[in-house]
Amino acid sequence: MSVTTAPTRSASRSVSFTAAKLPRFAPALVAAVSIAAAALPVLFLGWGLVAWAIVAGLLHLVALPLWARVVEGSRGATDRLVTGLVWAACVIAIVPLASLLWTVVDRGLPRISTTFLTYSMYRTDLDQEVGIYHALIGTLLITLFAAIISVPIGIMAAIYLIEYGKGNRLARWITFLVDVMTGIPSIVAGLFAFALFILIFGPSTRVGIGGSVALSLLMIPIVVRSTEEMLRLVPDELREASYALGVPKWRTIVKVVLPTALGGIVTGVTLAIARVVGETAPLLLIAGLTTRTNFNVFADRMTTLPVLIFTQNANPGIAETPGGMRPGLEIAWGGALVLIVIVMVLNLVARIIGRVFAPKTGH
């Protein structure tokens, strides 16, 4: 007769729901020590501030996870390491942008004045002040007509791809061509517009509308892609509810689909404009260069801000005082600042339009 004995229970272990943690000031302390430690090789080797910051950042990325591994364990160390890498990536992305903005503002702001913004480069006497008014008008007009060409074509093409052409061979071909156009160099778009206008109007043709056509080739694929993605985000339930009420498809698209996706579409259009407003090569080919202000994009040459910046940097002239900034470079930095302000204003306008016309939500 066998007797079965119950297994003996091992002594219960106490489970702790709290673990050791580094103090809150640990990252700041490690950062201070890393900066101090990085100063030694920088001083001995004669490196600059940038090298000092890089060495200190690397020391911080290594030291804090090692300390966390001793106190918090491997999971805490991994968390600290990944957090440090994320912050490092953020700093690497922001520092060049901040440096660029600071440089443009520092060098361009002293040149900004009423005369600089209201006078062109055309001189009637040697002592006359010059400015960027002609290039500012040229940039606004050429970009405006490029948007007039590109936005309707891009939005309607995206509507066809999403609403009408699903699984269609023509839709697949359009998608393929849009993908190809997205990656074409800007100079190729300029050569196409240059060849087109030469064939139609003759070899000496240089007009602003040609620059708009070249820029529209760069804008259309961006508008198509961004509008496509926004239309895909519109729930099918909204379309089906509209169809159930007897609303025709075209009216559903106009009254339901497009208003729902309007904020994203406006953002995509703004990105497309920001993509082309700084283009130089296509406009050098077809829009040309002039010192006069031209308000007619269908006649004569037009200068844009990027072209003006390029030409002034290429021919900066002679500084009035030894060691001073040459006049062409002053104009180039001032034009660059104005160009950045234009892009920022476009982004603000796009956000306001998207917020105003976006569908209202409520409970």
Residue 59 has pLDDT above 70, yes or no: yes
Which of 3.40.50.620, 3.30.2270.10, 3.30.70.100, 1.10.3720.10 is the CATH number of 133-357? Answer: 1.10.3720.10
Q: What is the pLDDT of residue 156?
A: 93
pLDDT in tens, 295-331: 988 888 899 999 999 988 888 877 766 767 788 888 8
Cβ–Cβ < 8 Å for 346, 274:
yes
- Assign 19 a pLDDT band (cuts: 50, 70, 90): low
**Mean pLDDT estimate for the chain:** 85
pLDDT tens, residue by residue, 109-143: 988 888 888 888 887 777 778 889 999 999 999 99
Residue 94 has pLDDT above 60, yes or no: yes
- Give tens-digit pLDDT for 142-179: 999 999 999 999 999 999 999 888 878 888 898 898 88
Structure tokens at 187: 């100079």
Band of residue 213 on the pLDDT scale cut at 50, 70, 90: very high
pLDDT at 2 exceeding the cut of 60: no
The enclosing H or E element of 100 equals helix 74-108
Residue 21, pLDDT above cutoff 70: yes
Q: Which of 18-22, 46-50, 304-308, 339-343 has the lowest mean pLDDT?
A: 18-22
The whole-number pLDDT of residue 363 equals: 44
319 φ, ψ to 5°? Answer: -65, 145
* Cα angle for residues 174, 178, 184 (degrees, 5° grid): 145
The whole-angstrom separation of Cα 181 and Cα 217 is 8
Could you tell me the pLDDT band of residue 73, with boundaries at 50, 70 and 90? confident
The SS3 assignment for 163 reads: helix
Q: Write the CB contacts of 134 (distance below 8 Å, at least 6 apart in sequence).
A: 120, 121, 122, 290, 291, 292, 293, 294, 303
Domain boundaries, the chain: 26-110, 133-357
Q: Can you tell me the distance from the alpha carbon of 60 to that of 144, in angstroms, rounded to the nearest whole number?
A: 49
How far apart CA 283 and CA 304 sit, in angstroms, is: 8
Is the distance from CB of 45 to CB of 8 less than 8 angstroms? Answer: no
Lowest mean pLDDT across 9-13, 58-62, 330-334 = 9-13
d(CA 231, CA 233): 5
Residues 6+ apart with CB under 8 A from 54: none
User: pLDDT by residue (tens digit) across 224-249?
Assistant: 999 998 899 888 898 889 889 888 98
